[in-house]
């Protein structure tokens, strides 16, 4: 820790003269600084340790299973020593894509309603409700999906009700808070002048929303969607309870399939040897995907900053 | 829930085994007289483990060490003398007959094939059951039922019920991999109860009136047909001892065969008590 000479920041004093801190204030300030540093350090160490552990346990995969037959293998059948995760990756992508397709319009619509249309009174009811949605444990979504939604889909399709469609509906609701909150922030951070200028030109509220506000907030909305994507692909319990967990390429959207996350949970209790290594390999894949999504968000943020500077 | 508990027990017993193996290596054959080692089937593990705990609660001076390594390992260790009781969820193989082991059956494990109550099919042959679960039949009309798609419900691979069904009903031919895989008996039952075309399998003890149990080869699954051995998808669970059980082993086996365990843990775990056959 680099600590400068103890002194108050020049700008902070009204008289502008340099004043030394008392010794006890100095120690308090230093202690606080270090405590906060420690907090940040613990969080970073947590990520680093998890990554190291998962990497360490998953690494033998290269030698024991082979990266090609792991990532490219079309059959996940641990009892026959086949550890191809392609069907699981496909399952994760199918589930995530459908959830985004359903959830994004819902969430962006909610955000536009909250930011542009709702009266303060309505907003004070709807916003906490959306935020509450984020606080509901995922197992409750899964339980709701299994007990309520699945039988409805089973009746409608004549199958068991397990499948991508059921997961889409559940996940679409689950990602609404993530996308809606961030989209609302993006809409709120648009300078009021832009809104006023649009109305001054004679645009209706709807024209203002879809011709001015949404385009102006598009980077923020994109961020929101990417984070929603991360939530959808990482969701485990709710998905596990409604997809049916058949590790195959599904022949339709109303038949069982499996995802990376749900398969890890299904197999963890009894997996041993190569099978266990393969599960850690799947964890690495999920880790890389979520790192990729975070990196994408950062990249977009940087792109936006440079665009703003260019204006 | 008993499945989850059995997983926990399995992990516990693995830890136990790992600590016991080096110990028994030091003083092989010289186990303390108040120590009972029970090794073998993972299906029997929950019963043996919980009964062991209750047994030591009643007799604190004794120790019962239970581990689940599989039926073959149970038979192997008891015949070698490194365990006092070997548990097995199968009969002795021909080459194991010569080991001179004494057989005390402790429970029946029967698996019922269940369908939605509205399904008109009442009876299937064992071969038809196999062909349903390996994906050959895809519509109930092929079996004389309604024109409804068959919805296969399977158990996860950690399940002892799946293992037994795989051996007895499937005769070790592979399951259809597009089947839904559910992590619990209760889930299988509730899903089958709600979907018209669904078919699944659960331990006989868990069948209730939400689902319809199908008779196999004309034999209805019930305590009677399981006990008299006519119901095809069932098996006996065994304790094997070197010769007639004596001392601590006898006390423990008698405890497992007592009404307290038979009508408690054995039924809770989804098995049929051995005493169901004794009234006959």
Would B24 be classed as within a structural domain?
no
Would A222 be classed as within a structural domain?
yes
Is 90 exceeded by the pLDDT of residue B19?
A: no
Would B145 be classed as within a structural domain?
yes
Is 60 exceeded by the pLDDT of residue A267?
A: yes
Query: What average pLDDT does the structure give for chain A?
Result: 89
Does any CB of chain B come closer than 8 Å to the CB of residue A270?
yes
Query: pLDDT value at position A61?
Result: 87
Looking at residues A295-309, what average pLDDT do you find? Answer: 83
CB < 8 Å from B in window 179-238 of A: none
Query: pLDDT value at position B8?
Result: 55
If asked whether residues B113 and B247 sit together in one domain, one would say: no
Is 70 exceeded by the pLDDT of residue A9?
A: no
Count of domains for chain A: 1
Does any CB of chain B come closer than 8 Å to the CB of residue A84?
no
Asked if A159's CB is within 8 angstroms of B157's CB, the reply is no
Pick from A160, A167, A242 the residue to mutate for testing the B interface (most B CBs within 10 Å). A160
Cβ-Cβ contacts under 8 Å between A and B: the total is 64
Which pLDDT band holds residue A92 (cuts at 50, 70, 90)? very high
Q: At B97, which CATH number?
A: 3.40.190.10
If asked whether residues B48 and B10 sit together in one domain, one would say: no
Contacts of B133 in chain A (CB under 8 A): none
Q: At A289, which CATH number?
A: 1.10.3720.10
Boundary residue ending a domain (B227, B249, B269): B227
Which pLDDT band holds residue A310 (cuts at 50, 70, 90)? low
Asked if A245's CB is within 8 angstroms of B180's CB, the reply is yes
DSSP code of residue A244: B
Is 70 exceeded by the pLDDT of residue A234?
A: yes
- Measured CA to CA, the distance from residue B132 to residue B219 in angstroms comes to 18
Query: What average pLDDT does the structure give for chain B?
Result: 84
Would B25 be classed as within a structural domain?
no
* Residue A122 lies in domain: 72-310
Looking at residues B148-170, what average pLDDT do you find? Answer: 88
If asked whether residues B113 and B97 sit together in one domain, one would say: no
Is 70 exceeded by the pLDDT of residue A240?
A: yes
Would B26 be classed as within a structural domain?
no
If asked whether residues B118 and B213 sit together in one domain, one would say: yes
Is 50 exceeded by the pLDDT of residue A174?
A: yes
- The CA-based angle B149-B150-B155, given to 5 degrees, is 145
Would A41 be classed as within a structural domain?
no
Query: pLDDT value at position A278?
Result: 93
Q: Tell me how close the Cα of A201 comes to any Cα of chain B, in angstroms.
A: 58
Ranking A17-26, A300-309, B72-81, B225-234 by mean pLDDT, the lowest is A17-26
Which pLDDT band holds residue B157 (cuts at 50, 70, 90)? confident
Would A3 be classed as within a structural domain?
no
pLDDT digits (tens, 9 = 90+) for A115-162: 999 999 999 999 999 999 999 999 999 999 999 999 999 989 888 999
If asked whether residues B100 and B120 sit together in one domain, one would say: no
If asked whether residues B12 and B70 sit together in one domain, one would say: no
Which pLDDT band holds residue A170 (cuts at 50, 70, 90)? very high
Would B269 be classed as within a structural domain?
yes
pLDDT digits (tens, 9 = 90+) for B36-51: 999 988 788 888 999 9
Query: pLDDT value at position A311?
Result: 54
If asked whether residues B211 and B269 sit together in one domain, one would say: no
Q: Which of B140, B135, B145, B185 is nearest to B162 (CA)?
A: B185
Would A64 be classed as within a structural domain?
no
Count of domains for chain B: 2
Would A181 be classed as within a structural domain?
yes
Asked if B183's CB is within 8 angstroms of A266's CB, the reply is yes
If asked whether residues B218 and B119 sit together in one domain, one would say: yes
If asked whether residues B126 and B253 sit together in one domain, one would say: no
Which pLDDT band holds residue A10 (cuts at 50, 70, 90)? very low
Would A12 be classed as within a structural domain?
no
* Residue B242 lies in domain: 35-106+236-277
Residues of B with CB under 8 A from a CB of A: 7, 148-149, 151, 153, 156-158, 177-183, 187, 191, 194-198
**Coil/strand/helix, residue A257:** strand
pLDDT digits (tens, 9 = 90+) for A192-212: 999 999 999 999 999 999 999
Would A30 be classed as within a structural domain?
no
Question: How would DSSP label each residue in A65-111?
Answer: T-HHHHHS-S-EEGGGTEE--HHHHHHHHHHHHHHHHHHHHHHHHHH
Would A277 be classed as within a structural domain?
yes
Is residue B93 within 8 A of residue B247, CB to CB? The reply is no
If asked whether residues B150 and B69 sit together in one domain, one would say: no
How far, in Å, are A266, B25, B63, B66, B84 from residue B36 at the CA level? 34, 16, 6, 8, 6
Q: At what angle do helices A164-188 and A218-234 cross, to 10 degrees?
A: 150
Is 60 exceeded by the pLDDT of residue B64?
A: yes
If asked whether residues B73 and B207 sit together in one domain, one would say: no
């Amino acid at each position: 820790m680099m600590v400068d000479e103890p002194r108050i920041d020049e700008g902070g004093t009204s008289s502008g003269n340099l004043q030394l801190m008392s010794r006890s204030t100095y120690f308090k300030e230093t202690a606080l600084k270090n405590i906060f540093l420690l907090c940040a350090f613990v969080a970073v160490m947590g990520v680093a340790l998890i990554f190291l552990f998962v990497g360490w346990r998953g690494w033998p995969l290269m030698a024991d299973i082979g990266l090609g037959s792991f990532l490219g293998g079309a059959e996940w059948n641990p009892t026959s020593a086949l550890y191809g995760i392609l069907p699981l990756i496909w399952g994760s992508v199918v589930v995530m894509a459908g959830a985004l397709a359903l959830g994004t319009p819902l969430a962006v619509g909610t955000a536009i309603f909250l930011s542009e249309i709702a009266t303060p009174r309505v907003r004070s009811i709807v916003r906490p409700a959306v935020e509450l949605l984020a606080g509901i444990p995922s197992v409750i979504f899964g339980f709701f999906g299994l007990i309520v939604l699945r039988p409805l889909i089973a009746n409608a399709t004549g199958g068991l009700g397990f499948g991508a469609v059921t997961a889409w509906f559940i996940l679409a609701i689950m990602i609404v808070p993530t996308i809606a909150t961030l989209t609302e922030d993006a809409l709120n951070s648009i300078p009021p002048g832009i809104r006023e200028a649009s109305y001054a030109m004679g645009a209706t509220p709807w024209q203002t929303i879809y011709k001015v506000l949404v385009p102006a907030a598009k980077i923020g909305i994109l961020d929101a969607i990417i984070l929603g994507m991360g939530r959808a692909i990482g969701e485990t319990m709710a998905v596990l309870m409604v997809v049916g967990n058949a590790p195959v390429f599904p022949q339709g959207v109303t038949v069982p399939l499996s995802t990376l996350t749900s398969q890890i949970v299904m197999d963890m209790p009894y997996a041993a040897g190569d099978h266990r290594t393969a599960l850690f390999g799947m964890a690495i894949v999920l880790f890389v995907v979520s790192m990729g999504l975070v990196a994408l968000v950062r990249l977009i943020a940087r792109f936006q900053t440079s665009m703003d500077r260019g204006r | 829930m008993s499945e989850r508990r059995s997983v926990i027990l399995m992990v516990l017993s693995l830890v136990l085994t790992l600590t016991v193996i080096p110990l028994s290596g030091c003083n092989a054959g010289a186990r303390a007289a108040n120590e009972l080692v029970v090794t073998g089937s993972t299906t029997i593990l929950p019963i043996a483990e919980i009964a062991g705990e209750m047994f030591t609660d009643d007799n604190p001076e004794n120790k019962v060490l239970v581990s689940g390594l599989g039926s073959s390992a149970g038979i192997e260790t008891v015949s070698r003398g490194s365990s006092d009781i070997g548990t097995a969820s199968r009969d002795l193989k021909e080459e194991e007959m010569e080991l001179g082991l004494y057989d005390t059956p402790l429970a029946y494990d029967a698996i019922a094939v269940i369908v939605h109550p509205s399904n008109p099919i009442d009876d299937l042959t064992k071969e038809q059951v196999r062909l349903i679960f390996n994906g050959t039949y895809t519509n109930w009309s092929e079996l004389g039922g309604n024109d409804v798609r068959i919805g296969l419900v399977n158990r996860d691979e950690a399940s002892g019920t799946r293992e037994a069904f795989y051996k007895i009903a499937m005769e070790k031919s592979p399951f259809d991999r597009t089947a839904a895989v559910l992590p619990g008996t209760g889930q299988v039952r509730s899903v089958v109860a709600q979907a018209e075309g669904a078919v699944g399998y659960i331990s006989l003890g868990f069948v209730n009136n939400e689902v319809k149990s199908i008779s196999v080869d004309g034999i209805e699954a019930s305590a009677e047909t399981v006990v008299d051995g006519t119901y095809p998808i069932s098996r006996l669970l065994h304790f094997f001892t070197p010769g007639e059980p004596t001392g601590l082993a006898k006390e423990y086996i008698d405890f497992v065969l007592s009404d307290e365990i038979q009508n408690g843990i054995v039924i809770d775990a989804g098995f049929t008590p051995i005493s169901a056959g004794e009234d006959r």
